[in-house]
Amino acid sequence: MYDIIIIGAGPAGLTSAVYAGRADKKVLILEKETFGGQITHSPRVENYPGFIQMSGNEFADKLVDQAMAQGAEIELDTALGIEKKDGAFCVKGERAVYEGKSVIIATGSAHRRLNLPKEDKFTGEGVSYCAVCDGAFYNGKDVAVIGGGNSALQESVLLSKNCKSVTVIQNLACLTGETKLIRELEKKDNVSFIYSSVVTELIGDSTFEGIKIKNTETQAETELSFDGIFVAIGQQPMNENFKGTVKLNEWGYVEAGESCIPESEKGIFVAGDCRSKRVRQIATAISDGAVAALAACSYIDSL
């Protein structure tokens, strides 16, 4: 029987483990894929207080070491659901069932897809969601980045260093990322922009050849040739397995305020990018992790 079961080993979940461990609670972290979450795909982290620059992997490794130093146990398993039984919570995984007095959901989010035919077929063979992972395969080639927010602009900056050309395709009439990133890209000779356009088709039979886009204002369609595209159109919260346990909003995020306490059975808490919130950054995920852990500790102490 654990005091706290934390589902997810991103910055929010790992921070929860650190705080809970320091409160002398027995903690289990369940993680289905990568320790550190999405931040491990970032080559440079420059907006975390106290560090001018570090890699996402470096940041994640330090957090994992810190959580384990506080006594947290880690299991590689996918949480399929949560049930209340005999006053405790049973977290059903693919490999086992885990029991805890409380649960913190910190599952984060995943890359949102275009949901187009052939997307699965061309993933890793022309369609990518991570410039850090796949950018090197396109050195000296022509690529497009789909999206206009911070993630898309950061991907574009990274790709522009080695790709022949980078075309940023945004569905709105303007970019929505940070001004600093926009200015950096506008100065680059190998970066161009297409606005008010969405991708409607992936072109190619056996191999990826390009995309078809439609202008949302004129409805005009255009075929463009690229060696590859990088999709950066936002994140999808990983809460589907808990929709019967906690209340989700229309976008799939857990409904919870700054207290990190959702509308659900007492003893369940939520932290990080899977929670409904306006700002999703490392700093806010870590803040959530601390708040959720302290709330869970208070709940356990009151039992």
Active site annotation includes 3: no
Q: Which of 120, 133, 174, 301 does the annotation list as catalytic?
A: 133
Active site annotation includes 174: no
Amino acid identity, residue 242? F
> In 147-163, which positions are buried (b, 16+ CB within 10 angstroms) versus exposed (e)?
bbbbbbbbbbbbbbeeb
Q: Which of 61, 90, 130, 142 does the annotation list as catalytic?
A: 130
Active site annotation includes 90: no
Q: Which of 61, 90, 134, 142 does the annotation list as catalytic?
A: 134
Q: What kind and span of H or E run contains 155?
A: helix 150-160
Q: How far apart are the first and last CA of the chain?
A: 14
Strand segments, DSSP code E, in 106-141 are: 109-111, 127-128
Helix (H, G, I), strand (E, B) or coil at 101: strand
* 20 DSSP 8-state letter: H
Main-chain dihedrals φ then ψ at residue 248, nearest 5 degrees: -110, 145
What are the catalytic residues? 130, 133-134
